[in-house]
Amino acid sequence: MFFENWMSYIKDDAKITKVAMPGSHNSATMGMIKLAKCQNGSLYEQYRYGVRYFDIRLKADKKGRLFIAHGIMKGMPAKLAFESLKKIFDESDEFFVIKMITYMNQKIGPFSLSYKGNAGETSRLIREYLNPEKYALTGYGDISDLTLGEIRKAGKKYIIINENKEYDFSNDCTVDGPWSGEVHGYKPEKFAKEIMNYFRKVNTDGFFWFQTQQTPNPGTEIGWSMWPDDLDKITREYFPGIIADIAANPEFIEKANIVAGDFMTADYMKAKEILSLNLLKGIVKEEMIDKYKKAIGK
């Protein structure tokens, strides 16, 4: 199926930081309550919908046991997310970008919250499930110069990014993912236009993580009136327009890299729209362009 192997259609000389790839926000929150759930599908199911960037956030309980986190909410044991990743790497030859962090400290109204991780346990899970000696990308030099062909030749399947290199086989290369509580809390039509300014503001030698999901927060235009799934039903109507705005600007086309959002397995619409940008980038293999266009309906 196309969405399980769409990267095989991309030229060897394409820079990994210039490939347009679907990503997911709070990737492993399946099964959480409505307030915290940003995805309905497992990591494996997201892979089958074309997602190649995973945003995995962890926290440890008092006994050091690791769980998926979304703020104060606790999700599945981290082990289950690693099992899903293992299933992907066992069957796929695609390349995945994994941002893996302890859930960041946050401020909600007058309350300041902090979370603890367990780097040793995270490293143990990486070694147990992800065959990092064989598949983890490390020692690559300048990530902005790295091509898909070089990754393929090395037989690598993923890169784990953590800015503090807290885990074995993790890397500190840049993932520039601009987010603003105010901007991501605008009403949908205004939000869809305002986030395009990030393409004007962001210049990075790393990965550009363009977040298209809205975020309910107190004190913003949308406030806490809707949960992530309610918001997604509204904002997804604006998603094709967001991609069209990227497509209309050569500078934006060049910068487009990871385009991420919530509920990436609701249907294939978001993946198709994002992957259409690779045609405009000119990085789809010539002999596969027709099949690529047919698969995404372009």
In order along its 298 residues, the chain shows pLDDT tens digits of 899 999 999 999 999 999 999 999 999 999 999 999 999 999 999 999 999 999 999 999 999 999 999 999 999 999 999 999 999 999 999 999 999 999 988 776 667 788 999 999 999 999 999 999 999 999 999 999 999 999 999 999 999 999 999 999 999 999 999 999 999 999 999 999 999 999 999 999 999 999 999 998 888 999 888 899 999 999 999 999 999 999 999 999 999 999 999 999 999 999 999 999 999 999 999 999 999 999 999 8
Beta bridge partners of 158: 96, 136
Q: Answer whether 0.85 is exceeded by the pTM.
A: yes
pLDDT at 108: 66
Q: What distance in Å separates the CA atoms of residue 264 and residue 27, rounded to the nearest whole number?
A: 9
pLDDT at 226: 87
- Could you report the per-residue pLDDT of 148-186, keeping only the tens digit for each? 999 999 999 999 999 999 999 999 999 999 999 999 999
Q: How far apart are the first and last CA of the chain?
A: 17
CA distances 165 to 60, 116, 159, Å, are 18, 16, 12
Q: What distance in Å separates the CA atoms of residue 197 and residue 174, rounded to the nearest whole number?
A: 20
CATH of domain 2-296: 3.20.20.190
pLDDT at 109: 65
Q: What distance in Å separates the CA atoms of residue 125 and residue 49, rounded to the nearest whole number?
A: 25
Beta bridge partners of 66: 60
Domain boundaries, the chain: 2-296
Please check whether residue 201 is in contact with residue 160, taking contact to mean a CB–CB distance below 8 angstroms: no
Both structure tokens of 117: 């991780």
pLDDT at 218: 83
If one counts every other C-beta atom within 10 angstroms of the C-beta of residue 37, the result is 20
